[in-house]
Amino acid sequence: AMLAASMAFGAMAAPPDYDERPAKVEPYREGWNYDRRLVDITMRDGVKLHTVFLVPKGARNAPILLTRTPYDAEKLTSNVHSGNLIAALDGYDNAADIIVAGGYIRVIQDVRGKYKSGGGYVMNRPLVGSGLNPTQVDDATDTWDTIDWLVKNLPESNGRVGTLGISYDGYEPLVALVNPHPALKVSVPMNPMVDGWRGDDWFHNGAFRQMNADYIWEQVATTDNSDPFWWNSRDIYDAFMRAGSAGAFGRIHGLDQIGFWRKLTEHPAYDTFWQAQAMDKILAAQPLKVPVMLVHSLWDQEDIYGAPAVYAALKPKDTAGDMVFLTLGPWHHGQEIDDGTHSGNISWDQDAAKWWRWHVLAPFLAHYLKDEPMDVAPVTAFQSGVNEWRRLNAWPERPAAARLYLKPGMSLGFSPAEGAAETADYVSDPAHPVTFVPRPVRPTGYDDDHWTDWLTTDQRNAAARPDVLTFTSEVLTAPVTIAGQPVVHLSASTSGTDSDWVVKLIDVYPDETPVRRDMGGYQFAVGMDIFRGRYRQSLSDPKPITPNAPLAYSFALPPANHVFLPGHRIMVQVQSSWFPLYDRNPQTFTPNIFFAKPQDYVKATQKVVIAGPSESYIELPLVN
């Protein structure tokens, strides 16, 4: 009987589904202080870009602040689904306090090919005319078309647009400067991606920043970043060490499916692929039409190269001195819109981000977008050590000229060592690389906080290793002030045929410190960077290193605006790996390190010259 009934039921036509969802809803918005609008703006090639508008209630003659992002415009503008704009905006890219106080119309747009925008996605889409973009559209044309739509379709606006953003979103205000729309009145690139090979996200002087693997997968594999990268290991040190080379890691994790990953592996050297995209080079060749403030974080763990490089490229064009501005803040990547009281264990004795937002960013934007007066110095630079903001007329304040020598007795001094040639030696073993932070190493990100402030972590962990050379000055009896980019001049040999050199300039705190007793002896890095030895003679044409011959390696450290206080010491550390942030140098020259074979990874004896005709030194931009 049951079977018969079910068969009979099956034979009946199933009733149509029903749906309780209304065709359209009018959400309750009583008390909201802004209107939220979603518009898909059509670009010149017909592609529609998804754009979020947050228009303060009653806005009239209000300027527009535009951010273009690959990180989900809708998410960025509803971090707290709130009727109060300052809450909705709070988070990445939004200096919410001064945007709301300034009465700006906030516009955030998904870049082409991401989230709800149409079109194709290309990581930092190269500009039309770069030789790398086969189309007639790029982020510059998309920005132009967007601004043109905004000023023609936003009756609440005063027809003036500013662009600002952090990181990738800081790259966008830079490309907006190429053939800028006439309504673009100011640009504030914050911690921008500028040159992915020299010193921003992808490489530093040729050493590959492999820990961005998850970002590349999540950013490119899906339009909405919906497929999380699977590390298959809690301590990603193990994930990378087990794989061997970065290329092998990519193959294991499916990254070969990603076009951008393949481009990285095909362009390990500073070739045209990288040089044609370098925004400092591109903007150096452009007329200066829009006032711009480059915003740099002195402890930027992601884009520590870009802002100073663009400033150096543009400043010579600013003959009247009123178009190109620079901020150097005591921040990690993007911290300028957050709590600026400290970076990791280092306290700034004030909220250095809030001060900057209200005393520099707010008047700077208001001047160009609302004709308000401003008194912003060409360079606003935080002087760490004394922890005070400085108004400077130019940057660097001093050229790197004072030689701090690495000397016998693992000492440092401003005069070279006398006597016969001498070296300080260590064995660099790729099977036991120096880590950039203590293990377990977690993925980059802002949940596990070791990544955000890792540049200010205590360097004593490294100093304790036999494969890290540590040179230390006497206790200072007078301040030593630097204001510029130190330049490393290492004279060193390796028993291998390739090698990485990591050099760190460190402020060593007194053994006993008041108030913050835990900071006694802290080794606070003022500037650190890595250089891949194969590029010693040419960044674009790598060559094997002659084994066991002392050779010269020169490279700049990031900008520093620091006072080594009396009672402190200056320290320099030298090592040959920085894992797993950077891929390991096998220390055997191979055509492409991405595809080094297990047998290429060999121990090498490193000898740093510390006395004799070619001893090593760091040129410091010494103020006193």
Instruction: Report in angstroms how near the CB of residue 273 gets to ligand PG9 at its nearest.
Output: 16
Q: Interaction with ligand PG9 in 190-249: which residues (CB under 6 A)?
A: 193, 201, 212, 215
- Per-residue binder mask for ligand PG9 (CB under 6 A), 254-293, x = binder: ----------------------------------------
Q: Which is nearer to ligand PG9, 166 or 528 (CB)?
A: 166
Nearer to ligand PG9, 93 or 467 (CB): 93
173 close to 194: Cβ distance less than 8 angstroms: no
Helices and strands (DSSP H and E) totals, the chain: 16, 27
The answer to whether 343 and 299 have CB atoms below 8 angstroms apart is yes
Count other C-beta atoms under 10 Å from residue 222's C-beta: 13
Closest to 500 in 3D by CA, of 596, 430, 549 = 430
Q: How far is the CB of 249 from ligand PG9 (least distance, A)?
A: 16
Q: How far is the CB of 212 from ligand PG9 (least distance, A)?
A: 4
Angle (CA) 126 265 450, round 5°: 90
Spatial distance between the Cα atoms of 249 and 341, rounded to a whole number of angstroms: 38
Of the pair 146, 167, the CB lying nearest ligand PG9 is at 167
Q: How far is the CB of 60 from ligand PG9 (least distance, A)?
A: 35
Q: Determine which residue in the list 109, 163, 167, 343 makes contact with ligand PG9, applying CB under 6 A.
A: 167
Among 168, 270, 579, 589, binds ligand PG9 (CB under 6 A): 168
Residue 215 or residue 522: which is nearer to ligand PG9 going by CB?
Answer: 215
Nearest distance, CB of residue 597 and ligand PG9, angstroms: 28
Whichever of 280 and 303 has its CB closer to ligand PG9, that residue is: 303
CA angle 322, 323, 328 (to 5 degrees): 95
- Cα 453 to the chain's mean position, in Å? 12
Q: How many residues bind ligand PG9 (CB under 6 A)?
A: 8
Structure-derived torsion over alpha carbons of residues 155, 159, 165, 169, reported in degrees to the nearest 10: 80
Compute the least distance from the CB of residue 172 to ligand PG9, in Å.
10
Q: Are 105 and 157 in contact (CB under 8 A)?
A: yes
Residues 6+ apart with CB under 8 A from 198: 204, 205, 270, 274, 278, 305, 309, 539
Give the residue with the Cβ less far from ligand PG9, 274 or 617: 274
Nearest to 153 by CA among 105, 94, 93, 219: 105
| Shortest CB 373 distance to ligand PG9, Å | 34
Q: Going by DSSP bridges, is the β-strand pair 560-564/480-484 parallel, antiparallel, or unpaired? A: antiparallel
- Rounded least distance, CB 201 to ligand PG9, Å: 4
Instruction: Please report whether residue 122 would count as binding ligand PG9 according to CB under 6 A.
Output: no
CB of 395 to ligand PG9, least distance (A): 22
Q: Which of helix, strand or coil describes residue 162? A: strand
Question: In the structure encoding, which two tokens stand for residue 118, read together?
Answer: 């149409």
Q: Which of residues 335-394 bind ligand PG9 (CB under 6 A)?
A: none
DSSP string, 380-429: EEEEBTTTEEEEESSSSSS-S-EEEEEEGGGEEESS---SS-EEEEEEE-
Of residues 290 through 319, those in contact with ligand PG9 by CB under 6 A are 302-303
Nearer to ligand PG9, 117 or 212 (CB): 212
Q: State which residue, 111 or 241, has the beta carbon closest to ligand PG9.
A: 111
Maximum Cα–Cα distance across the chain:
108
Q: At residue 340, what are phi and psi to the nearest 5 degrees?
A: -105, 25
CB closer to ligand PG9 out of 85 and 216: 216
Of 193 and 502, nearer to ligand PG9 (C-beta) is: 193
183 vs 193, which CB is nearer to ligand PG9? 193
Q: What is the dihedral of CA 50, 186, 316, 619, to 10 degrees?
A: -70
User: In this complex, which beta carbon is closest to ligand PG9, that of residue 297 or of residue 577?
Assistant: 297
Binding mask 10-49 for ligand PG9 (x = CB under 6 A): ----------------------------------------
Give the Cα separation of 113 and 524 in Å (integer): 41
Output the smallest distance, CB 93 to ligand PG9, in A.
Answer: 10
| Distance of alpha carbon 592 from alpha carbon 248, whole angstroms | 12
* Single-letter residue type at 468: V
Amino acid at 252: I
The least CB distance from residue 199 to ligand PG9, in Å, is 12
CB of 140 to ligand PG9, least distance (A): 18
Interface map 407-446 toward ligand PG9 (x if CB under 6 A): ----------------------------------------
Interacting residues with ligand PG9 (CB under 6 A): 167-168, 193, 201, 212, 215, 302-303
